[in-house]
Amino acid sequence: MKKRGFTIIELLIVMAVIAILVGIAVPSFRAIQNEAWKSRATGDVKVIKIALETYYMKHSSFPASSPVGNYQSAFLAESPPLIESNLYDPFGATATTMYAYSISSGGKYYVAYSVGVGGNGSASISDQGVITIGAGTPIYASNGHI
């Protein structure tokens, strides 16, 4: 009686096919995840823009931009709150990294931004409302211009 089963070669071929499929699927998944994070960051930054403009209309000034994330506390302290909860940058160094925000030295212009896909994006804004994009590719919203 002959035993039936898989040979080593057959098992190696199946494992190779599975490895190839995983090699194809993982980068695709990562690209899809980055696109989802970009969409989330774009939406969150727009929410921050609306909250900043509403805050300015009520107080005739923007909230302090440092320490990072402190401005969101100002939004939550409003009655009614300008945002429902703190917003965290999906591209930040940690899960609790908040979106960055800068105001011009004259206090008239602002730029709120995510650090972007590379995790190293930055932006600043001048008293003339000119946005300067630093390293990386931040996702931003502002009342200024490039």
Over 70: is that where the pLDDT of 145 sits?
Answer: yes
User: Which pLDDT does position 1 carry in this prediction?
Assistant: 62
How many independent structural domains does the chain possess? Answer: 1
Over 90: is that where the pLDDT of 118 sits?
Answer: no
Across-strand partners of 139?
A: 114
- Span 28-53, average pLDDT: 94
Residue 32 resides in a domain: yes
**How many Å apart are CA 76 and CA 83, to the nearest integer?**
6
Residue 29 resides in a domain: yes
Over 90: is that where the pLDDT of 68 sits?
Answer: no
- Span 10-14, average pLDDT: 93
Residue 3 resides in a domain: no
- Return the HEC string of 23-89: HHHHHHHHHHHHHHHHHHHHHHHHHHHHHHHHHHHHHCCCCCCCCCCHHHHHHHHCCCCCCCCCCEC
Residue 55 resides in a domain: yes
Above pLDDT 70, what percent of the chain? 99
Residue 1 resides in a domain: no
User: Which pLDDT does position 95 carry in this prediction?
Assistant: 86
User: Domain limits at 62?
Assistant: 9-142
Residue 85 resides in a domain: yes
Over 80: is that where the pLDDT of 86 sits?
Answer: yes
